[in-house]
Homo-oligomer: A and B are copies of this chain.
Amino acid sequence: MAKKQQSELTTAEKKKQQKRDLILESAKVVFSKKGLIDATMKDIIEECGISRGGIYLYFRSVDEIFLAVLEQRSKRKFDDVREMIMEQVPFETILNKYFSDHRKRLLHSISDGMLRAVYEYYYTHKTEASSSLQQAQLSETKRTIHEIFQVGVQQGVLKDENLAVIAENYMFVIEGLGILALTGHITEQTIDDQIAVMRQLLPYRN
C-alpha cells in the first residue's frame, strides 16, 4: 500500500520526500554517534551535504528532526508484523514474529545508539513534551498488539474476551522490559519468562 501511494506522487513531491529522507538518515547517523544533547544542526548539515538554507525548509531545529526520526523509526519497527496482519498470516505465526522482533530489539538495545538518544530526550526535556512522546509510543505498542489479537479472533483461534485489557498488560511489560534492557538489567531468560507469562493470558478457544 505504501508503494501505491508513492507512485501517485508528482516528481516534485517525490524529490521533496527523498530530500527529507536523506536528512533523517543523516541525522540518525549523527544521533547514534553523538547522542541527542551534543548533536547540532551543523553536524546534520555536514553529514547530509544539504545547505543550511535547504535544511531549514524542512526542519526548524534538532529536536524537530529528532522527533521525525523517531516517528519514522516506530513506523518501520514492526513493518513485517504489519504486513503479516494485512495478509492474514496464521495468528500464531504473527505472534511469534512479534515476540521474536521484540526479543531481538531488547537484546540489542544496549548497543543501539538511537535508543540511548531517546532516553536522553526523555530525561532532558520538559516533562510535557517527553511524556507525550512516551504516551504516543505506549499507544502505538498497544495498537499493534491489539491488531494481532484481532487476527486471532477472525481466524477463530482467540475468544474476543478482554483483549484490550490484555493488550495493555503486554504494552506495560514490553515497555518495562525496554527500561531494564537500557539500564543493562536484562537477560534472555527474563525476556523469555515474561513472554511465557504474556502468552498465558490469551483466551484461546478450547
Enumerate chain A interface residues (CB-CB to B < 8 A). Answer: 116, 119-120, 122-127, 130-132, 134-135, 138, 162, 165-166, 168-169, 171-173, 175-177, 179-180, 182-183, 185, 190, 193-194, 196-198, 200-201
Contact = CB atoms under 8 A, between A and B. Distances in A.
B131 A182 contact: yes
B131 A165 contact: no
A91 B9 CA distance: 63
Contacts of A194: 165, 168-169, 172
Contacts of A120: 127
A190 B177 contact: no
A162 B194 CA distance: 10
Given A123-B124, A165-B197, A176 B172 contact: yes
Contact of A172 (B125, B173, B185): B173
A128 to B, nearest CB: 9
Given A131-B182, A138-B176, 7 more contacts: A116-B127, A123-B126, A134-B183, A165-B197, A166-B197, A169-B173, A175-B176
Contacts of A169: 169, 173, 194, 197-198
Nearest to A172: B176
A171 B172 CA distance: 9
Given A165-B197, A194-B169, A201-B200, A125 B127 contact: no
A131 B115 CA distance: 14
12 contacts: A116-B127, A120-B127, A131-B179, A131-B182, A132-B183, A134-B183, A165-B196, A168-B193, A169-B169, A172-B175, A175-B176, A176-B176
